[in-house]
Amino acid sequence: GENVEQHPSTLSVQEGDSAVIKCTYSDSASNYFPWYKQELGKRPQLIIDIRSNVGEKKDQRIAVTLNKTAKHFSLHITETQPEDSAVYFCAASTGNQFYFGTGTSLTVIP
């Protein structure tokens, strides 16, 4: 089955700096890559996603890049704010099933 690895497990940045979280996957059949933000005690919320026919997608301060050849994808958050502090999960999907990374705890220091 699919194996998704996520790095780093923890990340601290100063407010206003950028944050990058990276994931790798193993199954070349995976074609959909969502990113979720989970605040303490709350449900995972989809923040951005990308499909395998696209190399990059941007939504305001958040962007995701995908390298199908290398089987890795990354989340980029620019101009970080304290409210960006949360755990972020990447996932890879073959079209029906989802495989999650282990999460990155992001702390934005005011």
Partner 1 sequence: EAGVAQSPRYKIIEKRQSVAFWCNPISGHATLYWYQQILGQGPKLLIQFQNNGVVDDSQLPKDRFSAERLKGVDSTLKIQPAKLEDSAVYLCASSSRLAGGGNEQFFGPGTRLTVL
Decide if residue 100 touches partner 1 (CB under 8 A).
yes
Rounded Cα–Cα distance for residues 35 and 51 (Å): 12
Decide if residue 23 touches partner 1 (CB under 8 A).
no
Extract the tokens encoding 23. Answer: 């994931």
Nearest approach in angstroms of CB 95 to partner 1 is: 6
56-59 and 72-77 as β-strands: parallel, antiparallel, unpaired?
unpaired
Decide if residue 51 touches partner 1 (CB under 8 A).
yes
Q: Could you say which of 12, 29, 42, 109 contacts partner 1 (CB under 8 A)?
A: 42
Extract the tokens encoding 14. Answer: 């100063």
Comparing CB distances to partner 1, the nearer of 7 and 78 is 7
Segment contacting partner 1 (CB under 8 A): 11-19, 46-54, 62-70, 74-82?
46-54
Q: Could you say which of 63, 86, 93, 106 contacts partner 1 (CB under 8 A)?
A: 93
Residues of this chain that interact with partner 1 (CB under 8 A) are 6, 31-32, 34, 36, 42-46, 49, 51, 53, 89, 93, 95-103
